[in-house]
Amino acid sequence: MPRTVRIPVEPASHEEFAPFGQLISEQDAAPAFHGDGLRSWQLANDVDGTTELMFIRYEYKPMIFSTIERHFNETQCFIPLAGAAMVMVVAPRTDETDRSVLPGPESLRAFLVEGSSGVLLWKGVWHALNRFPVQPPGAGFALLTATETQSELERQSANSSAGEGTAGHRRHSAIVRRSLPIRFFRRAAPTDLHCPRPGC
């Protein structure tokens, strides 16, 4: 029977999120460009292939999951629309030469990302498949990903639906998805976190 692991939700900050990626927001460093009433910062977006822009909608649902994935060939960016806050679950990168290695459950972290920020994930960072909006009915996000990764994901999904599994040849080595032997969910956030979602 699966063991349940509780992960506390913590506020996302540039420092705490740095091992996993970048917050898409105003940076601490000096802007790369500034003009009349504007400042801009360069972020480390990096795609081996063709960049694809998608709209993705995550429904408001229980904050429970048992599957994580990682992508080797691109950073992925999730940018909330309409100021939607979300919880993002991540885990550190593991050895890319041994794809049987999974992150330990104690290494997973859940970040509350306010709707004024997006997230950029480093290549190879493990993450839950879902982002968890904190308000019903859900939220829309702009997703920057790689066309090759998205195509591979769609093929894997189609094969899985057809009962063929997902262990076939991955030309781009873009996706490694594993079901963990335990289930994870977020416990109530600390009182000073101001998470607007009950039970987040």
Note the CATH number of domain 3-26+41-187. 2.60.120.480
Rg (CA), the chain: 17
Any idea which residue has 């599994």 for tokens? 165
In this predicted structure, what is the pLDDT of residue 1?
Answer: 58
Question: What is the rounded (10 degree) CA torsion for 131, 132, 134, 138?
Answer: 80
Nearest-angstrom CA–CA distance, 28 and 117: 14
Is the pLDDT at 200 greater than 60? The verdict is: no
pLDDT for res 179: 60
Q: Is the pLDDT of residue 193 over 60?
A: no
Question: If you average pLDDT over every residue of the chain, what do you get?
Answer: 82
124 residue type, one letter: G
* Amino acid 163: pLDDT: 59
- Residue whose token pair is 């996706």: 175
pLDDT of residue 150: 87
Identify the pLDDT of residue 83: 93
Determine which of 26-35, 98-107, 110-119 has the lowest per-residue pLDDT on average: 98-107
Q: What is the pLDDT of residues 55-107, one digit of tens each?
A: 999 999 988 888 888 888 899 999 999 999 999 999 999 988 887 788 888 89
All structural domains of the chain with their residue ranges = 3-26+41-187
**CB-based contacts of 15, cutoff 8 Å, min separation 6:** none
For position 91, what pLDDT does the model report? 94
When mean pLDDT is compared across 9-18, 96-105, 151-160, 191-200, the lowest value belongs to 191-200
| 68 touches 127 (CB < 8 A) | yes
Residue type, 128: A
